[in-house]
Amino acid sequence: MPEVYVPPGVWVAPRRGKPGADEVVWQGIIKGTFALMNDGWVAAKCRVPVAAETVFLVKRNGTHVGTITFAEGEAEATATTEFPAFITLFTDQLLSLHAPATPDVDGEDFTFTFYATRVV
Residue 72 is part of a domain; what is its CATH number? 2.60.120.40
Q: What is the pLDDT of residue 83?
A: 63
Q: Tell me what the pLDDT averaged over the chain comes to.
A: 87
The closest of 105, 35, 115 to 70, measured between CA atoms, is 105
Per DSSP, 62 falls in state T
Provide the whole-model pTM.
0.88
Counted domains in the chain: 1
- Mean pLDDT of the 20-26 span: 95
**Structural domain harbouring 85:** 5-119
Q: What is the pLDDT of residue 4?
A: 42
Chain segment 38-88, per-residue pLDDT in tens: 777 889 999 999 999 999 999 999 999 889 999 999 999 988 776 656 788
For the chain, what's the residue count? 120
Q: How far apart are CA 108 and CA 47, in angstroms?
A: 6
Q: What is the pLDDT of residue 70?
A: 95
